[in-house]
Chains A and B, each alone.
Chain A
Amino acid sequence: MEQNIIEKLINELTKLPGIGRKTAQRLAFFILTMSEEDAKGISKAISEVKEKARFCNECFNITENEVCDICSNTVRDRSKLCVVEEPCNILVIERSKCFNGLYHVLLGALSPIDGMTPEKLKIKELIRRVEKNSLQEIIIATNPNTKGEMTAQYIRDILKPYNIKVTRIAYGLPIGGDIEFADEVTLGKAIEGRREI
C-alpha cells in the first residue's frame, strides 16, 4: 500500500538526529502551513548541499570548490596545522578565534573494536602534507576521549621520523563548572596539565 504523502514526510524527517516521531509530526504539519517559497527554499538548500558539497583536496574540510576557503586564504599561517576528527570541528575552533593556521580533517578517529584502522582515516594524506610543506607545528585537536587520544598518540608516533613539533590540545575542566562535580579522570588530567601563573 502506498504511503500517504504526509506520512512519507514524517518518516523522512525522523531520519534526522534528535528528531523523534512527535517532533517529526509537528515539523511536517508546520511545513504544510508554510509558504510555498519557504518550503521550496528548504528542499532546494538540502539538494544543493548534497549536489555541490565535497571534500577539500588539501584538508578534507567541506567545500563547494576544489580547495576550501581556509586553505586558499593567503593570510593564514601556513606553518601550523590543526588536526581534527570531523569537518564540523573546524567551525567551532574558528569561532574561538584562537587559531590562524590550516586544518587537516581525519574524517573519524581510530577505534580497533569498530574496525577503524589508520588506513580508513586521512592519515596518509596528513603525512603527504608534512612531507610536502615546511610545517613547524602539528596541533592535534582530536576529541578528549579514548578514541581521540589513541588517534593523537598514533599520529605522534607516525610523525616522529619527520622531526616536527607535535602538540596536543590541553585537557582541562570546563569553564563555569565546579571542581566538586568533576570526575577523577578529568580532574587528574587537569592537574597533570597545570601551568605556572
Chain B
Amino acid sequence: MLHRTEGVVLRTFPFGEADLIVTYITPDLGILKLFAKSPRKIKSRFGSSLEPLTHSRIAFWGKENTPLPRLTQSDIIHSFQSVRNTLSRFLAVSEMLELTINFIPERDANKKSYFLLLNTLKAIEDNSLDNSSVIPLENENLFVSHFKIKFLKFAGFSPKLDACGRCGKNGNNFYISHGSILCETCARGIDYPIRISPAALKLYIDLLTWDISKIRRIKPSNMLLSELSNIINMHIKYILSKPLRCRDFFSFHVNDLTN
C-alpha cells in the first residue's frame, strides 16, 4: 500500500552498497524508518532530500507493519540548509534530533513534538538569517534549551523545579534521582543535591511557558543559561540512563587532539 505524509529527516544510516535507512519524524506516524534505494549514488533522484533536517513530502510503499517500508518519493518542502551548513549550528540542533529519536515511539502520531521541532528549526534559521539578531550564534543554545524543556513536557518527563516534589513546600535543591526539587524535610537521607538559583528557576518557567516567537526577548547571561541546561542535561541523562551521544562532542576539546 502506498502512504503519503510529510516529515523531517532526523538521521540517516548507510546500508549496503549505496542504500540508506532514513529516520523521519512525522506528524501522523511519529518516528518512521524508511529504506531508500541508492540515494548515495551521485545521480540519485533523491538528490539532497534525505540530508538531516530536510522537511519534505514523502511517499512510501509497504504492507501494514512492515518494519522497513520503502521510500518511493521525497520532495523538499524546506531544506534548512542554512542550519545544517554551519558546524556549530548543526551541533546545537543535533541534540534536538537525538532527543527526538530517543523519546518518540515509532508509528505513533505525535503532532506536538513534530511541530515543536519544525518551529524551532524555523526560529533558528530566521535568527541566523537576521543580521540584526539580538541572539548571537553561540546563543542558539537558548532555542535548544527551549526545545528540550518543552519537549520533556510533551513527553511527560518534565523535571519538577518549582517546589518540593513530595510535599509542595519551597526548596532550591534539585535531586537527579527524584527528578525533582525536595525540601529539607523530604530530602533527609538523600545525597547529592544540585542547587538551583532563583534566576535559573525563573528562566526555566519562562522557557516552559513562552512561545518560541517570543524567546528572542529573553536575554539570559551565558552563565545562567548554562546553569539551567546543566540541570536539564543531567535530568535527561538520568531518564535515558545514558548521556546523549551529542554531548561527547561538547565535552570534547580541540586540545585533546593537539597535545
A contacts, CB < 8 Å to B:
17-18, 112-115, 117-119, 123-124, 127, 145-146, 149-150, 153-154, 157-158, 174, 176-177, 181-186, 188
Contact = CB atoms under 8 A, between A and B. Distances in A.
B10 to A, nearest CB: 8
Given A114-B245, A174-B42, A177-B43, A146 B90 contact: yes
B78 to A, nearest CB: 9
A124 B91 contact: no
A154 B81 contact: no
Interface of B: 10-11, 16-17, 42-43, 45, 47-49, 51-53, 76, 79, 81, 84-87, 90-91, 94-95, 97-98, 101, 245-246, 248-249, 252, 254, 256-258
Nearest to B52: A146
Nearest to A157: B87
Contacts, number: 80
Given A112-B95, A117-B252, 9 more contacts: A17-B17, A113-B10, A113-B11, A113-B98, A113-B101, A115-B245, A118-B254, A119-B252, A153-B87
Nearest to B92: A112
A179 to B, nearest CB: 12
Contacts of A113: 10-11, 52, 94, 97-98, 101, 245-246
B51 A146 contact: yes
B120 to A, nearest CB: 16
B43 A174 contact: yes
Contacts of B76: 183-185
Given A113-B245, A115-B245, A124-B257, A183 B49 contact: yes
A107 B249 CA distance: 18
Contacts of B86: 153
Given A127-B257, A185-B47, A185-B76, A146 B84 contact: yes
Nearest to A126: B257
B211 to A, nearest CB: 27
A22 to B, nearest CB: 15
B94 A119 contact: no
B252 A184 contact: no
Contacts of A124: 257-258
7 contacts: A113-B11, A113-B94, A114-B245, A118-B252, A184-B76, A185-B47, A186-B48
